[in-house]
Chains A and B, each alone.
Chain A
Amino acid sequence: MSGLPGLPQYQPKSRFMKWFEARLPIGGLVHSSFIAYPTPRNLNYWWTFGGILTLMLAAQIVTGIVLAMHYTPSAALAFDSVEHIMRDVNYGWLLRYMHAVGASFFFFAVYVHIFRGMYYGSYKAPREILWILGVIIYLLMMATGFMGYTLPWGQMSFWGATVITNLFSAIPIVGDAITTWLWGGFAVGDATLNRFFSLHYLLPFMIAGVVVLHVWALHVAGQNNPAGIDVKSNKDVVPFTPYATIKDAFGMSVFAIFFAYFIFYMPDWLGHADNYTPANPLQTPAHIVPEWYFLPFYAILRSIPNKLGGVFAMACALFVLFILPWLDTSRVRSATYRPLFKQFFWVFVLDCLALGYIGSQEPVGGWILAGRICTAYYFIHFLIIVPLLGWVERTKPLPPSIADAVLAKRGGGGVPATATAAPERRG
């Protein structure tokens, strides 16, 4: 991508920058990655979520670091120290709500980002490694979110940690030893809380490391785009700055408005009231549920009437994402040109939302059956529909280039000649 001819190279201007650049070419790296970097000219607002995710990761790290200055990772003191943050620490309430609501918004953004990748076929060659790195980031986010939710040491923290760590006890033979090892005791307790705090502090930096690899892989393969076709000439691209920079900044600003609304007006709406009750190892709350962003997987876990089977199905639901690039046999990337896949994509989105809702309900009566049907469809989508569509689907003709696709859309008729007359006046 960066090898396209005719793009400006970084030229250090001052004597100092020339001296510096000859020793550490960081100016050239920034210039080629974030200024002159050619981005497809047809990127829509779904593409701003990459930038939004970077912003959220930074926000979580910054708020997390300052919260750690006031938090005490001890079973006896953790709950009180969180209340201390809420009541006594200057702006503690704001920082904690930014962090807690921020986790939810981080997951919301990552789900949009993942579904966008699925819709436009961003996981297909040559972007398989880019996609796999993304799935690794998602798994690290899940581990981080889960451990972070344990830290306030409320009832949901404690029992969520108990149920999730007990998943490992389903592993034959060594399951109990692994669970005891994770706990550092014979139940979730002080030792568990301490190690979760340590790892919760570590994992975001590991995420940041994998994000660097993710962006690196992105800049090697180049961005996918709504047309799903490769960049062919300089007419297909615009420089990252100002086009993508400003568009990303606008996307982040709009996202931040919703984020701020939740922080200031409904900070506990996405949480659970039971977590304002201190952890009690002798009493499980009447209805325990994980945070909303884990609900679809929780529904899959519960829909299998066998302990090991449920844990296995939940693990498979995540690991199937790793092999998605090879399950999809279609050579056309974007759903825009795949009429059947487009419909099945939206059915799949509905299935995931349904699984999320089912996961929040008590597993009785019709919810059990609904959970089983939706779980079955989740796997049918990945293992049968997606591979089969590549063979049976008649795709629409692809535009010759990104520029043609853009101009056809602007002109409304698909004739580039009419569009080129005044492309910017017809939108």
Chain B
Amino acid sequence: MAASPAAGYDDRPEDEGDDVATTLNHTADEPSRRDFLYLATGAFGLVGAAATIWPFIDQMNPDASTLALSSIEIDIGGVAVGQEITVKWRGKPVFVRQRTAKEIADAKAVEVSTLRDQNAQNPNLPANSPATDANRTAPGKEAWLIQIGICTHLGCVPNRGGTYEGWLCPCHGSQYDSAGRIRQGPAPENLHIPPYQFTGPTKVKIG
């Protein structure tokens, strides 16, 4: 406060100035309180804008009624050996197949190290379980292959066919074997297995 009235703010040495003078005298490498306030206000506004936008984005995610449909119970008593049914779970087809002894034996004979996708893709097991035939089914239920019938390439539904006693995708020619593992074509992964458990001898809860 010692500066004469005639002296402009810029003439005053910084250490002598009051708050206002300090603000106006700041240099680029010495941020002032006003710089801090600008940044803080701007950042606060940005957070507010993001918070406002979020409901508009999140409304597109699956809604509560869709999530509520996420588990079904089915009766597989009527599925004979070598037969397959398709049930709908979360809008997707799930193949439930009682495999023949030959299909099981052939699937077991395949070395896991020769497979393109060596992950069992089975959420009922720990992640990274190897894609053995046993890991593709539930313990003690090796005849039952339960898998999501959606090609891991671009989402078409494979039909029975191909050269591996399994499934052939009509869209881009991916072939899966009798354990639903990818053997040929553009698909990167084995057919995924849904979370499921046997709740009785012929009852399965999917989801």
Residues of A participating in the B interface, judged by any CB pair closer than 8 Å: 159, 162-163, 165-167, 169, 180-189, 191, 195, 281-288, 302, 305-307, 310, 362-364
Contact = CB atoms under 8 A, between A and B. Distances in A.
A424 B187 CA distance: 64
Contact of A186 (B60, B91, B149, B159): B91
B63 A184 contact: yes
Contacts of A185: 62, 66, 90-91
Given A180-B61, A307-B186, A187 B154 contact: no
B108 interface: no
B156 A288 contact: yes
Interface string B113-136: 000000000000000000000000
Contacts of A302: 172, 186
Contacts of B60: 181-182, 184, 195
A301 to B, nearest CB: 9
A187 B90 contact: yes
29 contacts: A162-B155, A166-B154, A167-B154, A182-B60, A183-B62, A184-B62, A184-B66, A185-B91, A186-B62, A186-B66, A186-B70, A186-B92, A191-B62, A191-B63, A191-B66, A195-B60, A281-B92, A282-B86, A282-B88, A282-B93, A284-B169, A286-B170, A306-B188, A307-B153, A307-B187, A307-B188, A362-B173, A363-B172, A364-B173
B26 to A, nearest CB: 39
B157 A283 contact: yes
Interface string B185-203: 0111000000000000000
> Which 4 residue pairs are nearest across A and B when measured between Cβ atoms?
A187-B91, A186-B90, A166-B155, A284-B156
A285 B159 CA distance: 10
Contacts of B155: 162-163, 165-166, 169, 187
User: Which range contains the number of B residues in contact with the other chain?
Assistant: 20 to 34
B15 to A, nearest CB: 52
Interface in B49-86: 57, 60-63, 66, 70, 86
Contacts of A184: 60-63, 66
Contacts of A167: 154
Nearest to A285: B170
A187 B92 contact: yes
Contacts of A183: 62
Contacts of A180: 61-62
A281 B170 contact: no
Given A182-B60, A184-B60, A191-B66, 10 more contacts: A184-B63, A185-B62, A187-B150, A282-B149, A284-B159, A288-B170, A302-B172, A307-B187, A307-B188, A364-B173
Contacts of B66: 184-186, 191
B185 to A, nearest CB: 9
Contacts of B154: 162-163, 166-167, 307
A285 B170 CA distance: 7
Interface of B: 57, 60-63, 66, 70, 86, 88, 90-93, 149-150, 153-159, 169-173, 186-188
Contact of B156 (A162, A310, A362): A162
Contacts of A181: 57, 60-61
Contact of A306 (B70, B92, B186): B186
Contact of A281 (B57, B63, B88): B88
Contacts of A166: 153-155
A189 B171 contact: no
Query: A-side binding surface: helix, strand, loop or mixed?
Result: loop
A304 B153 CA distance: 12
A237 to B, nearest CB: 48
A364 B185 CA distance: 11
B171 A310 contact: no
A307 B154 CA distance: 8
A163 B170 contact: no
Contacts of B61: 180-181, 184
A311 B67 CA distance: 29
Contacts of A191: 62-63, 66
Contacts of B186: 302, 305-307, 310
A281 B173 contact: no
Nearest to A186: B90
Contacts of A189: 91
Nearest to B94: A282
A363 B170 contact: no
A310 B172 CA distance: 12
Contacts of A286: 170
Contacts of A305: 186
B104 to A, nearest CB: 25
Nearest to A187: B91
Contacts of A363: 172-173
Contacts of A282: 86, 88, 93, 149, 157
A195 B158 CA distance: 27
Contacts of B86: 282
Contacts of B93: 281-282
Nearest to B171: A288
Select the residue from A159, A162, A167, A186 with max chain B CB neighbours within 10 A.
Answer: A186
Nearest to A304: B186
A283 B172 CA distance: 15
Contacts of B92: 186-187, 281
Contacts of A306: 186, 188
B91 A284 contact: no
A40 to B, nearest CB: 46
